[in-house]
Amino acid sequence: MRGDNNQQDAMFSYVSPKKRVPADHPLRPIRKMVDEFLKEMSPQFAKLYSDVGRPSIAPERLFRSLLLQIFYSVRSEGMLIEQLQYNLLFRWFVGMEMDEVVWNHAVYSKNRERLLNGEIAASFFARVLERARPFMSDEHFAVDGTLIEAWASQKSFRPKNGSGKPAGQGGGSTLEGKNERTRRMNPPRIPMTGCGRSPEAARRS
C-alpha cells in the first residue's frame, strides 16, 4: 500500500532531540563527561557574571558548542549557528530544545571571546584533554591534492624499463600508429609506473 505524501507541518512534536540520537553514538559519552566537568566548574562560572542585566549565553552551552566546532571542523561561527538551526545532533549536544531560537552569530562570537579570554577556558580544555588522552594518537596523515592530480594523469605514465616518452610527447605509454582514443583505451601490456620515476628510482624499487 502506498503511503501518503502529506507535507502539512505538524503543530506539535513529542520527540526530544535526545531520542533522535542513536544510543551508541560517540557523542553520548562525550556529552556525559563534559557535563560532569561543567557541573564542577559552575561556581567558577558564577563569578564571571553579574546578578543583574540581560542574560548572556550560558557558558555551559558555549563550551559544548566549541567542542562541536572542533570535532566537526566547523570553519566559522556563522556556519556553526547555521548547523544549530536544523542539525538535531548539534542541538542536543549543546542543550537546546527543538523549537528554541538560535543565537545571533555576532552575539555568540562576543560571548565566546569573553569566555575564552579568561583562565577558566584553559582549565576546561585541560580537563577534557586529560580525560581524552588515552584515546588520542600522534599519528598524522596529510595528502597533497596536486600530487593526486599528477598521479592520476594518464599522460605521465612511462614503462618501467625507461623506454619511450610520456603520452602526448610522441610515445611512452601507448602503441605507435593508433589514434589517441585507441591508445588511451588499450595501453601496451608491459609493467607500468606512475608519474615518470627516474631509472635510478625504478631500479631501487
Note the pLDDT of residue 178. Answer: 47
Q: What pLDDT band is residue 25 in, cutting at 50, 70 and 90? A: very high
Which residues, listed in sequence order, are joined to residue 158 by a DSSP beta bridge?
193
How distant is the alpha carbon of residue 189 from its chain centre? 42
Q: What pLDDT band is residue 37 in, cutting at 50, 70 and 90? A: very high
Q: Is the model's pLDDT at 199 over the cut of 60?
A: no
Q: What pLDDT band is residue 98 in, cutting at 50, 70 and 90? A: confident
Q: What pLDDT band is residue 144 in, cutting at 50, 70 and 90? A: low
Residue 67's nearest CA partner among 48, 80, 85, 86 is 80
Q: What is the mean pLDDT of residues 48-70?
A: 89
Quickly tell me which residue has 596536486 as its cell.
146
Note the pLDDT of residue 55. Answer: 84
Sequence-distant (6+) residues with CB within 8 A of 195 are: 150, 151, 153, 156
Q: Is the model's pLDDT at 133 over the cut of 50?
A: yes
- Long-range CB contact pairs, 183-190, < 8 A, 24+: 184/154, 187/157, 188/159, 190/159, 190/160, 190/161
